[in-house]
Amino acid sequence: MHREALAGNPNPSRHLQALHFLGALARINKLRARKSPPSRRATALGGRRITRAAYAAMAVAAGPRRAWSRAILLGLRRNSIAKPFLIKKRILKPHRELRDVGSRAEELRRLLPGARRMEFGSLLDETLNYIHHLTAQVGIMQKIADSLCK
């Protein structure tokens, strides 16, 4: 069934990502319907579930060949919210110049899940792929939000 749907699609991973994310949202919605009216804690848990569902859909669509997707899936399998892919609120410091490529590579390794011991060329390739999937994720979420607001 999926192969026929993907045959004419120029970007099949985005299609798969949308399917997985919508399926996860449907499961989350069923869990919410079974429970009592949402409390503040339940609302926070629902937000975390949606975040985890979005990252899981993104990682599954990317496949196991990417280090960042393996790192995300491993964190989800451990049933914990893995630190590498959570967005943390922090106060941004003024931009400082990074003078050498080594320190820039270290910043990328710190930001990209599963990139701790990666060589520079692979790091750039993984980063490009990760940004591509994040952009697709934002587009999917924007379309969902637009369809709900109509």
Q: Tally the domains of the chain.
A: 1
Per-residue pLDDT of the chain (150 residues; tens, 9 = 90+): 344 444 444 566 788 888 888 888 888 878 776 766 666 655 666 678 888 888 888 888 888 889 899 888 888 887 654 444 444 444 444 445 445 667 888 888 988 988 888 888 899 999 999 999 999 999 999 998 888 887
Note whether residue 96 is domain-resident: no
Note whether residue 92 is domain-resident: no
Note whether residue 17 is domain-resident: yes
Note whether residue 81 is domain-resident: yes
Q: Quote the distance between the C-alpha of residue 142 and its chain's center.
A: 14
Note whether residue 77 is domain-resident: yes
Note whether residue 58 is domain-resident: yes
Q: For residue 139, what pLDDT is reported?
A: 92
Q: For residue 39, what pLDDT is reported?
A: 62
Neighbours of 42 (CB within 10 A): 14
Find, among 53, 64, 47, 62, the residue nearest to 23 by Cα.
53
Query: Diameter of the chain by CA atoms?
Result: 55
Structural domain containing residue 80: 9-37+47-87+103-149
Note whether residue 56 is domain-resident: yes
Q: For residue 31, what pLDDT is reported?
A: 74
Note whether residue 3 is domain-resident: no
